[in-house]
A and B are shown apart, each in its own frame.
Chain A
Amino acid sequence: MRIFLNDDAHDVDAATLATVLDSLGFGGRKIATAVNGRFVAAAARPATQLADGDRIEVVAPMQGG
């Protein structure tokens, strides 16, 4: 299926948010996630099933004012 991570299309087999993040190199990283505009807590990623066309946002700490 095709998902979008920070707007980039990825064709993935994995079905949960946690496995998709692992397969795209985010394992063990300090990140926060949302799927289709809704926050998904780190603890909920393994149980979050993805569907074709889902839009995932991955953010990390950054400088801010």
Chain B
Amino acid sequence: MFYGVDLSSRLLLGTARYPSPAVLERAIKASRAEVVTVSLRREGGTGRAGQSFWQFIQSLGLRVLPNTAGCHSVKEAVTTAHMARELFDTPWIKLEVIGDADTLQPDVFGLVEAARILARDGFEVFPYTTEDLVVADRLVEAGCRVLMPWGAPIGSARGLNNVYGLKSLRAHFPDIPLVVDAGLGVPSHAAAAMELGYDAVLLNTAVAEAGDPVEMARAFALAVEAGRAAYLAQPLEPRDMAQPSTPVIGKAVLGGV
């Protein structure tokens, strides 16, 4: 499904902001995710946080998708991607080039440029983008074989802000794996994305900051499965007029005014 890698789970889970590593581990299991996102940060000569997190990640035996979170320029994102590739030993990179500090909206111009550079360098790029069709076209031209449009701003829990735009994107790219990344708050948002025919969802805060992250992870897993099954079952389009579900032919004639 992603760059030649088949996965059975359609939920990708972030690893940040959990109350403890134990809760994170149980939430990952409950979500049934096979891909977890990770990042990199500065570490001093005496710091051990990164080393113990690395051991934890290895113990999971899952595929990792490192991100370039917090990068605001092409150069920063490209250098970060190279560091991530060496550190996590994977060509996969969730490419984020942030353009606006309040909404964390992607800088789509920088994103396309960075994607082109990284694809040429042999990376398998998962670009965090908007639902803009022309930007998506440019990303595919640049070598991206997965697109990850936002549902809503990162961590906002608002769900799918532009269902029409996400639907158009799906229709324009029937053969490119599409992942709704960011902005989901509750499982029904994830189900809605899957019902549109999206291939997967990527979430973090909605699970990590829920009152019970493990139970929320399980709820999201169920919603993703339900939404996918519904998509495959070809849902009805909404209609303006009522249509009786009970057949009227053969109904008894009992008078009345």
* A41-B86 contact in complex given A64-B16, A65-B67, C-beta closer than 8 Å: yes
Number of chain B interface residues as a range: 35 or more
Which residues of B sit under 8 angstroms from A31, Cβ to Cβ? 43, 50, 87
Selected interface stretch from B76-84, B106-114, B167-175, B215-223: B76-84
**Would you call A30 and B54 a contact (CB within 8 A)?**
yes
Q: How many residues of A contact B (CB 8 A)?
A: 25
**Would you call B79 and A6 a contact (CB within 8 A)?**
no
> Among residues 29 to 45 in chain B, which have CB atoms less than 8 Å away from a CB atom of chain A?
37-45
- Chain B interface mostly: mixed
Which residues of A sit under 8 angstroms from B84, Cβ to Cβ? 32
**Would you call B204 and A65 a contact (CB within 8 A)?**
yes
**B57 contacts the other chain (Cβ, under 8 Å)?**
yes
A57 to chain B, nearest CB (A): 7
Cα A60 to Cα B48 in complex, Å, equals 9
* A65-B37 contact in complex given A30-B51, A37-B75, A60-B49, C-beta closer than 8 Å: yes
**Would you call A62 and B39 a contact (CB within 8 A)?**
yes
Which residues of A sit under 8 angstroms from B46, Cβ to Cβ? 25
B48 to chain A, nearest CB (A): 9
Cα A61 to Cα B47 in complex, Å, equals 12
A59 contacts which of B14, B87, B154, B155 (Cβ < 8 Å)?
Answer: B87
* A61-B45 contact in complex given A37-B79, A39-B79, A39-B82, C-beta closer than 8 Å: no
> Among residues 25 to 65 in chain A, which have CB atoms less than 8 Å away from a CB atom of chain B?
25-26, 29-34, 37-39, 41-42, 57-65
* A58-B14 contact in complex given A29-B51, A39-B82, A65-B67, C-beta closer than 8 Å: no
B 134-149 binary contact with A (CB < 8 Å = 1; else 0)? 0000000000000000
**Would you call A59 and B40 a contact (CB within 8 A)?**
yes
Cα A62 to Cα B98 in complex, Å, equals 19
Residue of B nearest to A32 (CB): B83
* A6-B42 contact in complex given A62-B53, A63-B17, A64-B16, C-beta closer than 8 Å: yes
B67 contacts which of A57, A59, A64 (Cβ < 8 Å)?
Answer: A64
Residue of B nearest to A26 (CB): B45
